Structure formats: C-alpha cells, structure tokens
Amino acid sequence: MLLVTVGSAMAPAGTARLWYAQPAAKWEEALPVGSGRLGAMVFGRTATERIQFNEDTLWTGKPHDYVRAGSGDALPEVRKLLAEGKVKEAEALGRSRLLSDPVRQKAYQPFGDLWLDFPGHETVHDYHRELDLDRAIAVTSYRVGTVTYRREVFASHPARALIVRLSASGDGALTARIRLGSPHRDSRVAAGDDATLHLDGSVQPDGLKFAARLQVIPDGGSLRREGETWIIAGARSALLILVAETSFRSYTDITADPAQRCLDALRTLRGRTYASLQEEHTADHQQLFRRVSLALASPEAALAADARPTDVRLKEVRAGGTVVSDPSLVSLHFAYGRYLLIASSRPGSQPANLQGVWNELLDPPWESKWTTNINAEMNYWPAEVTHLTECHTPLFDLISDLVVSGARTARSLYRSRGWVLHHNTDLWRGTAPINNIDGLWPTGGAWLCHHLWEHYLFTGDRAFLAERAYPAMRDASLFFVDSLIQEPTHGWLVTSPSFSPEQGTLCIGPTMDTQLIRWLWQATVEAARQLDRDAGLVTELSGRLSRLPPPLVGQHGQLQEWLEDVDKPNNQHRHLSPLWALFPGSDIVPTDPVVFNAAKRLLTWRGDGSTGWSYAWRIPLWARVGDGDYALRQLSFLLTKRTLPNLFDLCGPFQIDGNFGATAGVAEMLLQSHQRTQDPARTVVIDLLPALPQAWPAGHATGLCARDGFVVDQEWGEGKLTRVTLTSRLGRPVVLRSRSGEVRLETRAGESVALDGSLQLIRSGTR
C-alpha cells in the first residue's frame, strides 16, 4: 500500500521566506501579515518601529442603496438610441440617468499604527528582517552592542488578534515606549489603568465606529504609563496583544459596539502565553500552507538563491529582464501568492479586496474595493487549484449579499427578476453601475457565479451546490432571461446597454457578456439537472441558449470582441475580455479548433501585458493554449516590471490581483483539468505539465488540485514527466494525459495511484 499524504509538504528549502538586510524605507517595502480579517504591515525599523494595521470592515460610508431614482424609466430610451446607432446620445443619457447615486462607491480605510520606540537603537549591527511564509511570522533582529534584539509579529486567525513579541538577549535589556496612532481625524488614544492602550474613533459622524485595544505584558522589568503611552524598562521580553474591531455587523447594520467587542476578544486571550499563541497560529496556517509544494530548481540552487536578499534577487532579474535565471524566485512568488490569500481571506472575513487587506491610505486607489470586471475574480483564481478552498468562502458570502442587493438593482433599473452586479462593489454591496459608462456592464454577477460552480467542480460538495451555488446561479440566470434584448439583424439575445471592459463605446452584446451568459445558463441547467430541480427553467434556458450569438470569427481570423468585425490587430489593451471563455472559463478548447485558433489569434495580437494583473491574466491564457515559454515571458515581465521589493504586485500603484493571478497562472502551466471527454460520461481530463517552459527542465509540484476531487503530485526531469501520484477524494473516473499519451483510470475515494512518466501504473492503495 502506498501512503500518500495530502496536505503536509514542507515548502522546498529556500523558497519560503522573503528577507532583507535593511528596514523598510516605505510602506511598499514593509512585510504583510494577516488573519483574513486583520492585516498589518511590519516595517522592521530599529529606533522607531511602525506596524501599520487594518481591519477589513473599516470603510467610509454607511448602509446605502446606490440605485439612481428614475433610472429604470431611462433605460428603454438608452436601448432605443443604441439600436438606432446613436451611440454618443446613448452614452450621454446613460451617464446622466443610469449611473449610481452617488456615482462613486466608498473606500476601504486604514485603521491605525502601533509605534514602538527603542532608545539607542539608531545604529545597529547584523540587521536582518524576514517574512517566514511557512510559519506566517515577520521577524526582525539586530544587535546593539552585545545585545541581540528580536521582534516577531503575526496576525492570528484563531486568536483574532495581532501578536507582537519583543525580546532581548541580555537579561533585562529591553526598554521600549509603546504608542498607538490613527490617521483618522476623529480618533483618540488613551492609556488604560490595566497596561492597555485604547484607540477609539469613527470614520465619519454617521458611519462606522472603530476601537482597538493593546495589552502590554512584559516579562520582568518595569512598566509605567506616560501620557498616552506605556514604557517598558529593563524587561527580558514583552508580549503585545492588539485587537481591533468595528461597529459593522452586516452591510445593512452598523450598530455593534467595537469597544465591547475588543473587551470580549481580549478576555478570551487572558493568560495566554506567546508560545501557545504562536503554536496555535502556526498550526492553523500550516494546515493550509503546507498542502502544496513547488520546486523549479535543484535544492542546492534554491538555497544558493535564498542566500541573497529578496530585493537583491529582484534587482538581478530586473537587470536581466527575465526570471529565467532565478526559477526559485518563481517558487517563492508562487508560495507568497498562497500565503497572501491565506492572510487576506479566511472564513468569516471580507473577501480580499484590491489591496487584499493591506492599505495605509484614507483615499486608496480605486477605493481599494472589489472590481468585478477582472480584479476581484483574479484574487480567487488560486483558491481551488492551489488547495486553499476554504479561503474561497468570503467570496461566496459576498455573493450571498449581492444576490439580495443586486435584486433591488435588477428590479429598479432593469425591471427584471434575479440579481445583477456591474463592475464594482463595496462594503455596502453596491450593485448599480458606477463611475462612468464603462460601469454599464451587467455581467459582474455572472462572473462571480463562476466561482460557485468551480468550487463545486473541485470539491463535489452537493450541499454547497444545493444551498449556496444553485440559488445564486438560478437567480443570476433569471436576470438575463428577463433583461436580454433581441439584436435586430439576427434576432440573437444580447445585453444592452453594455461595455467590453474597459474599451470601446457603449454597445450591445460584447463577446464577453455572451460567453458569461452562455456559461451561466449551461451551468445552471447542469446544476438543476443534478439537483433534480426546476424542470421548467431547464427547458426555458436550454431553448434560449441556442438564441445567443455564436462565437464570431472576424476578417483576420480573430475571435471578435464585439458583434461587429472591428477589432484592430495592433490593439494591445490590458483587458482580455473576449478571452474569458479560454480562461478562466473553459468553453474554448482545442476540440473546437476554429474558435480555439481564433482565440489564440486574438491573444497573440494583444501582445504583452502592461499592468501587473494584465501580465498575470496572460499567464494562464498562454498556458491554456499550451505555450509555457510565452506564459513564462508574461511572468517574467510581471516580476521584472511590476513587482515591489516586498513582492507585492503593481497595477500602477500596489494592487494584489497580480500576485494571485500569477500564482494561479503558474498552477495552470503545470496542471489543467478543465476539459472532459466527449462521450456522455464527460470524464474529467487531467493534463499533466501542459505548458512547462524550457526554463524549468526539472522540478516537482505536489498538492495541486484538479476538478472532480483529485490531488496531484508531479515530478519531472529533462522537461518530461517522471512520476505522478493521483489521490482521489470522490472516487470518480479520470483520464490522465501527458505528452507521452493518456490513460483512463477508475478510482475509489481515498485511493492514491502512482504512475511513471509513461503513465504506467506503479502502484495504488488507500490512504
């Protein structure tokens, strides 16, 4: 019997830490820790340490319905103008009558700062700071004279707190002043009697209230209050516990008492030691993080690369213009993507927003909200395939809210059943079109539904399908049943008005919308059949599916972006909207060569990316057309042009989607499972190493997930698969495919099967 562990592989040596020989000079160089709900950026400074922190429900605004009064009355006129080809007039009317009220949504906010002053630490020796991705702890250490100082910082999901430990090697050498601050104008800091600091405030008079409490627990030495600070003197070490809460209960209720919540949170932690908090935190993190391991270089090469600080490695690949010279930097970036998702999206938290959970600005770029014409979805691309399915949950919770708030918008603006989401949402679950006419894109909700369905495909969780996924998908489908219009020339059913994100003019029926609606209706039909529900709807959707426009191939052999054949070969726009059905969708596959080749033509035209996320999207797209070298080229550009010293992705400013998109993209280069056999059984086909670039001739990838409940461990050498181990969770059949052939296997739940590089069975057994 072969024993296969699913989910406890150490990251390969040298691929699980970011480290630096100097403190962060600015926020973008600080190191992120997070518990899903809480986030913090650790600067690692010596004389004055800054730990800037966030809580994911602190936003501007208050409960609000964004639909503009009377927008539903103006919609028919906008549609009529579009049908008559009066685009400018349609845009003007759409802008003035259909957009939300107010026209912009609200912004994610910073919470506060923990400041630590260490007198005499201006000049230090042996400085080192690192982010240990395997333990999820940021560590800073240095020497002053003969004393070594060390700080450890983590955000604990189980303890709901930010934990800081200060220590000094000499007995009683630790002296520090501890302060709290906040950028919010309405905020107050006070020192409590009981070795606590209090931070209280509100974002705006009628908006969210917030409170943080810091408990100072020194070991030895003295503790004294001075004004709004506490001073530790002559201690061996100190434990600082920070809790932060807001008055947010739900998007319609902000009446919670944050100070009471803080008291309750601190009470549950009373008497806890640093060791117990740290062990609990690391165990909680590792049961997610250690499920996957990726090695793209030999252990010796990875260790040699890790001997150089992360920012130095980044500068080196930047100078060379490619990451080919440092493959283990890719493993590190991949591991970091998984780390960041664990840190910014845990059950019960808000989903990772444009900056994950990390933001120091009162006015962050694009309000640091959820942009749904690519960015929010990209954040969740790695969730299933890189074995972090639990981290997907906050997105599903968001969708549950949007089903309700989006139903109001569907009713008022479109006079339709079901629910709709346009290209952004915020903490208040805004669903109306915002900002400008490019906001008039009605398929954001359909795209989010794709995540529900993918979760079901990967996990086979029928209860999830019945209770969460299907109701949201059915209602999203109903919205399009009611709201599509008949296109005049062919009578196709299309969206109107719409916009192909984020280019062109206001239009009807852009390709992306049709792809999303086709996918949504097909999946809804499939789900209804599996659940044996809503036979009438199944008939109705099946009938309507044939009335959607077919994929249109234009004069240059390209997949058209619009109903008209107007694509320009030199258009290198950052968005890749008409390629949605190639990735993340999966309706464009090589078994339909005409459309597949047309999609490839369009992808080729689009050239290299520009923003971080636009490079990142190109990685899985090129992987889906089987070109690993071109996928790696995009990853190289991402790492050499759009990556900060702390490996955060840059859109223009920091934006986390590129981190997540690249992580998912690398997984897609190594493993794909979106195709099925053509026979009625529709058996899942798992493609092994489908887009391995020449630059990664040897390596291993363990713990990646495939649809229908498989976990796949692969090893390769000289550019060829040498061994694969497949663990089946659901006992489904599977076709395994590699460049050397394919094999069909029946499996039993819990069984693991090992095959050699020619897909010959080595052995099988039950875990």
| Interface with ligand FUC (CB under 6 A) | 354, 366, 371, 375, 502, 611, 613, 651, 655
Least distance (Å) from ligand FUC to the CB of residue 457? 27
DSSP class of residue 643?
B
Which residue's CB is nearer to ligand FUC, number 354 or number 639? Answer: 354
Which residue's CB is nearer to ligand FUC, number 371 or number 634? Answer: 371
Least distance (Å) from ligand FUC to the CB of residue 315? 26
Least distance (Å) from ligand FUC to the CB of residue 375? 5
CB–CB of 173/245 below 8 Å? no
Which residue's CB is nearer to ligand FUC, number 487 or number 502? Answer: 502
Least distance (Å) from ligand FUC to the CB of residue 217? 41
Which residue's CB is nearer to ligand FUC, number 210 or number 637? Answer: 637
Left, alpha or beta for 575 (phi > 0: left; psi -120 to 50: alpha)? Answer: beta
Which residue's CB is nearer to ligand FUC, number 611 or number 747? Answer: 611
Which residue's CB is nearer to ligand FUC, number 132 or number 649? Answer: 649
Least distance (Å) from ligand FUC to the CB of residue 655? 6
DSSP class of residue 51?
E
Least distance (Å) from ligand FUC to the CB of residue 332? 24
End-to-end C-alpha distance for the chain, whole angstroms: 8
Least distance (Å) from ligand FUC to the CB of residue 611? 5
What one-letter code names the amino acid at 635? L
User: What are the two backbone dihedrals, phi and then psi, of residue 623, each rounded to the nearest 5 degrees?
Assistant: -65, -40
Least distance (Å) from ligand FUC to the CB of residue 215? 38
Which residue's CB is nearer to ligand FUC, number 202 or number 655? Answer: 655
Least distance (Å) from ligand FUC to the CB of residue 552? 24
DSSP letter string, 302-353: HHHHHTS-HHHHHHHHHHHT-STT-HHHHHHHHHHHHHHHHHH--TTSPPPB
Least distance (Å) from ligand FUC to the CB of residue 513? 17
Least distance (Å) from ligand FUC to the CB of residue 435? 9
CB–CB of 154/286 below 8 Å? no
Which residue's CB is nearer to ligand FUC, number 328 or number 655? Answer: 655
CB–CB of 97/81 below 8 Å? no
Which residue's CB is nearer to ligand FUC, number 108 or number 366? Answer: 366
What would the two tokens of residue 616 be?
């990142």
Burial of 460 (0-12, 13-18, 19+ CB in 10 A): middle
Which residue's CB is nearer to ligand FUC, number 212 or number 354? Answer: 354
Spell out the residues 6+ positions from residue 228 whose beta carbon is closer than 8 angstroms to its own: 179, 180, 189, 190, 191, 197
What one-letter code names the amino acid at 221? G
Which residue's CB is nearer to ligand FUC, number 230 or number 580? Answer: 580
User: What are the two backbone dihedrals, phi and then psi, of residue 653, each rounded to the nearest 5 degrees?
Assistant: -80, 175
CA dihedral 283, 41, 612, 402 (to 10 degrees): 70
Least distance (Å) from ligand FUC to the CB of residue 317? 24
What would the two tokens of residue 198 be?
């209090």
CA 28 to mean position of chain CA atoms: 19
CB–CB of 693/629 below 8 Å? yes
CB–CB of 9/702 below 8 Å? yes
Q: Judging by DSSP bridges, how do beta strands 734-738 and 684-688 pair with one another?
A: parallel
DSSP alpha helix (H) spans, 607-677: 612-624, 628-641, 657-670
**Among 507, 541, 505, residue whose Cα is nearest residue 523:** 541
Which residue's CB is nearer to ligand FUC, number 142 or number 615? Answer: 615
What one-letter code names the amino acid at 719? G
Q: Helices 511-531 and 444-459 meet at what angle, rounded to 10?
A: 40
- The CA distance from 94 to 111, in Å, is 37
Which residue's CB is nearer to ligand FUC, number 197 or number 616? Answer: 616
DSSP class of residue 9?
P
What would the two tokens of residue 758 be?
């020619």
User: What are the two backbone dihedrals, phi and then psi, of residue 219, each rounded to the nearest 5 degrees?
Assistant: -110, 105
What one-letter code names the amino acid at 293? S
Least distance (Å) from ligand FUC to the CB of residue 662? 15
Q: Helices 628-641 and 657-670 meet at what angle, rounded to 10?
A: 160
Which residue's CB is nearer to ligand FUC, number 133 or number 506? Answer: 506
What one-letter code names the amino acid at 577? S
Least distance (Å) from ligand FUC to the CB of residue 70? 27
